[in-house]
């Protein structure tokens, strides 16, 4: 058991906060995601140390989903343990998000975008985390077989029940984002934020989504800014055996093509000239556009987290640097979430 936690009194001095779209909510420029590393198969005290360190460095936003683990649900349970102890006195300083959309339990009501699934899933998430409400509740993906009015109606319902303060969408196309925003506006619960994948090797949001977000006043939190670890030094010399790609998970081994690795090495050389690690430059690059509210990072340990947060020490780019990055920052075929952003709801 770690010793009693006292939050760092200076925790708000080193972090930058950015407004989410045209809302009243600020988010840290870097937020912590619990997609990986915080599940039941991971070491609880390691994850706990990462959460403490993040808060001590001004990270106020912790991003979860019903299915994060493994096993599904265990990331929320572990986060709930930390909320009940270390963070107990700090709930009002935190923005906690969760999502529903992917497979969570068997049968017809445990996935996608029905009111039944979203409502039941949020109740389960709140129970796992020991919370009365989440700050942000997301539709995790587009459901092509459910009317968008029903899915957005379920988000609005969660706010009216007092179970969520804000709502968001993830991996919706520009057109679906506009439709969702219009429905939510009519319901009186504006869409706060969109969570798309975005990195130097996955630039799909530049093809109209950022414009749609600006038009509709919606913020943007970019997940996988490190392309699931590809934009770090880990793969510069090929694939190490302990890496995510070797474990057959969401980072597919074919992403590590010679072309992609060549791009990564070229980008690493630019980062070195900037006095940054490749990961730090990748995070700073995602934040170069003011329409991006926050970069969402994961962390396997405190050292990895500190490395990512130190990206904020150098976020300025010269036009020459951006032009050079553009030569190598081309689509690497990494967008696993394309099915959702290509889909249209009913």
Site of tokens 């460095």: 57
* DSSP secondary structure of 163-199: SEEEEEEES--HHHHHHHHHHHHHHT--EEEEE-B-B
- The predicted pLDDT at position 343 comes to 83
- Round to whole Å and give the CA distance between 252 and 262: 17
Determine the average pLDDT of the residues in 21-39. Answer: 97
Are 167 and 184 spatial neighbours (Cβ–Cβ below 8 Å)? yes
- The predicted pLDDT at position 252 comes to 65
Does 48 score more than 60 pLDDT?
A: yes
Quick one: pLDDT band at residue 251, thresholds 50, 70, 90? low
* DSSP secondary structure of 2-22: PPPP---TTTTSS--EEE-TT
Percent of the chain with pLDDT over 70: 94
Neighbour-count burial of 89, counting CB atoms closer than 10 A to its CB (0-12 exposed, 13-18 middle, 19+ buried) = exposed
Are 282 and 18 spatial neighbours (Cβ–Cβ below 8 Å)? no
- The predicted pLDDT at position 249 comes to 62
- Round to whole Å and give the CA distance between 120 and 157: 12
Determine the average pLDDT of the residues in 25-53. Answer: 97
3-state secondary structure of 87: coil
Does 240 score more than 90 pLDDT?
A: no
Q: What is the pLDDT of residues 289-339, one digit of tens each?
A: 999 999 999 999 999 999 999 999 999 999 999 999 999 998 877 677 778
Please choose, from the candidates 332, 345, 182, the residue with its C-alpha nearest in 3D space to the C-alpha of residue 267: 332
- The predicted pLDDT at position 21 comes to 98
**Residue of 96 and 235 predicted with greater confidence:** 96
Q: What is the pLDDT of residues 192-221, one digit of tens each?
A: 999 999 999 999 999 999 999 999 999 999
* DSSP secondary structure of 300-326: SSHHHHHHHHGGGG-----HHHHHHHH
Site of tokens 């890496």: 243
Quick one: pLDDT band at residue 238, thresholds 50, 70, 90? confident
- The predicted pLDDT at position 247 comes to 59
Mean pLDDT over each residue of the chain, to the nearest integer: 94
Residues 6+ apart with CB under 8 A from 157: 115, 119
Does 245 score more than 90 pLDDT?
A: no
């Amino acid at each position: 058991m770690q010793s009693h936690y006292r939050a760092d009194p200076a925790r708000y001095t080193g972090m930058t906060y950015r407004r989410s779209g045209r809302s009243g909510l600020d988010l840290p420029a870097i937020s912590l995601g619990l997609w990986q590393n915080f599940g039941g198969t991971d070491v609880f005290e390691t994850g706990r140390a990462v959460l403490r360190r993040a808060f001590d460095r001004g990270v106020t936003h912790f991003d979860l989903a019903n299915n994060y683990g493994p096993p599904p649900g265990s990331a929320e349970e572990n986060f709930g343990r930390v909320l009940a102890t270390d963070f107990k006195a700090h709930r009002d300083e935190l923005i906690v998000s969760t999502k529903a959309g992917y497979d969570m339990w068997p049968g017809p009501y445990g996935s996608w975008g029905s009111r039944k699934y979203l409502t039941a899933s949020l109740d389960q998430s709140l129970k796992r985390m020991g919370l009365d409400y989440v700050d942000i509740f997301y539709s995790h993906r587009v459901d092509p077989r459910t009317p968008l009015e029903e899915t957005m109606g379920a988000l609005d319902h969660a706010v009216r029940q007092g179970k969520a303060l804000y709502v968001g969408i993830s991996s919706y196309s520009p057109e679906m984002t506009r439709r969702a925003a219009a429905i939510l506006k009519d319901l009186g619960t504006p869409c706060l934020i969109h969570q798309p994948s975005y990195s130097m090797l996955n630039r799909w949001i530049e093809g109209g989504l950022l414009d749609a977000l600006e038009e509709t006043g919606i913020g943007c939190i970019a997940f996988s800014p490190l392309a699931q670890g590809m934009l770090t030094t880990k793969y510069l010399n090929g694939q190490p055996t302990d890496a995510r790609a070797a474990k057959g998970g969401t980072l597919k081994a074919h992403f590590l093509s010679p072309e992609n690795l060549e791009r990564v090495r070229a980008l690493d050389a630019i980062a070195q000239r900037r006095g940054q690690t490749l990961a730090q430059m990748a995070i700073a690059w995602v934040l170069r556009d003011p329409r991006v509210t926050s970069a969402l990072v994961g962390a396997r340990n405190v050292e990895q987290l500190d490395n990512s947060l130190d990206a904020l020490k150098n976020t300025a780019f010269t036009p020459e640097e951006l032009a050079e990055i553009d030569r190598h920052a081309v689509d690497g075929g990494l967008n696993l979430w394309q099915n959702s952003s290509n889909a249209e709801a009913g």
